[in-house]
């Protein structure tokens, strides 16, 4: 009887050990399976653009989480002023902007542009990043500008919210190779007050008269394109252009065109550019470009940044 009890206990203990070993074996198999899945992680492409802007148009690059950027943008006067105006360098509009990475997908920013004494707030959100499973980068960008230069002398019925302009952009880019990246961006701009100060003054036909009767609309639709081509390890050429479908053909405003280059220095990007727009805030540079490239009426500018 005693030996029988011992045998039963040994048998029961053997069963327990067997089940435990079986469980550990199954766990090992499961862990190995999970490890194999983790090795098949999505492979993301490097950013399509090194800088946060192509030139004037926003790029799909976003500030990293926890980083604080200080950006200073200068836009000088027209080079047509010649040596008397030191080719535009005697005049300058300056924009100072702070950007903060809330997460690796969201950045927020505030700025002040001396052009029209404009204060702005902006947000940029990454929806998708180019990878072996996603062919493009897709980013949403929106900004709000407050024009404090507007006065009741020019607009007697001016209200506070009449100073506001809003911009919404859908940025889609692709890094085609180590050297070439391209972007396309449908853009919507809403201006609560329409600027009539730069209309043509000569009325010679009904088409010119129509500009005064039906001025530049409050709601404007644009399509922007831009690209970057890398020449050397630290140098690339950039271009961006936006076509305004809503612009009146008699307006003196031009479609904004910017050409320039990126110079990488110590992990940062210094941008030199020529543009027909003297503004840096979104609502103004997209809809109030006065320079005409065909007549050499362009301005020199640059963007510099500091990361804290």
Residue 105 tokens read as: 């997908």
User: Residue 33: what pLDDT?
Assistant: 54
Q: What residues contact 154, with CB distance under 8 A and at least 6 apart?
A: 197
Domain ranges of the chain: 68-293+301-307
pTM: 0.79
Residue 242 tokens read as: 């936006």
User: Residue 82: what pLDDT?
Assistant: 81
Buried b (16+ CB within 10 A) or exposed e, 235-267: ebebbbbbebeebbebbebbbbbbbbbbbbeee
Fold of 68-293+301-307: Porin (2.40.160)
pLDDT along the chain (308 residues), means of 10: 45 43 47 53 89 95 95 91 80 93 96 94 97 95 93 77 93 96 97 64 42 61 96 94 86 92 84 94 92 92 89
User: Residue 12: what pLDDT?
Assistant: 44
User: Residue 89: what pLDDT?
Assistant: 83
User: Residue 98: what pLDDT?
Assistant: 97
Q: List, for residues 168-205, the tens digit of each pLDDT value.
A: 999 999 999 999 999 999 999 998 887 654 444 443 44
117 Ramachandran zone, left/alpha/beta (phi>0; psi -120 to 50): left
Q: What residues contact 1, with CB distance under 8 A and at least 6 apart?
A: none
User: Residue 196: what pLDDT?
Assistant: 58
């Amino acid at each position: 009887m005693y030996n029988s009890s011992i045998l039963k206990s040994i048998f029961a203990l053997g069963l327990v050990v067997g089940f435990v070993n079986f469980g550990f074996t199954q766990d090992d198999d499961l862990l190995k399976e999970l490890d194999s899945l983790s090795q098949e992680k999505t492979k993301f492409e490097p950013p399509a653009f090194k800088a946060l802007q192509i030139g004037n148009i926003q790029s799909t690059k976003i500030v990293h989480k926890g980083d604080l950027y200080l950006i200073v943008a200068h836009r000088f006067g027209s080079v047509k002023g010649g040596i008397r105006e030191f080719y535009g360098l005697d005049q300058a509009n300056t924009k100072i902007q702070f950007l903060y990475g809330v997460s690796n997908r969201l950045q927020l920013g505030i700025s002040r542009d001396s052009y029209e004494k404009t204060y702005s707030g902006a947000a940029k959100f990454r929806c998708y990043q180019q990878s072996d499973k996603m062919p493009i980068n897709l980013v949403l960008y929106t900004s709000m500008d407050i024009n404090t230069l507007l006065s009741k002398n020019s607009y007697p019925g001016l209200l506070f919210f009449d100073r506001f302009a809003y911009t919404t952009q859908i940025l889609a880019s692709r890094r085609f190779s180590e050297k070439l990246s391209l972007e396309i961006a449908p853009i919507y701009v809403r201006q609560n007050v329409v600027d009539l100060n730069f209309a043509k003054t000569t009325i010679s036909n009904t088409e010119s008269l129509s500009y005064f009767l039906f001025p530049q609309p409050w709601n404007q639709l644009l399509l922007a394109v831009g690209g970057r081509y890398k020449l050397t390890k630290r140098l690339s050429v950039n271009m961006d252009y936006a076509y305004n479908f809503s612009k009146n053909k008699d307006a003196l405003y031009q479609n904004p065109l910017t050409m320039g280059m990126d110079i990488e220095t110590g992990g940062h990007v210094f941008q030199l550019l020529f543009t027909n727009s003297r503004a840096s805030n979104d609502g103004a540079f997209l809809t109030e470009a006065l320079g005409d490239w065909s007549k050499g009426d362009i301005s020199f500018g640059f963007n510099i940044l500091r990361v804290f």
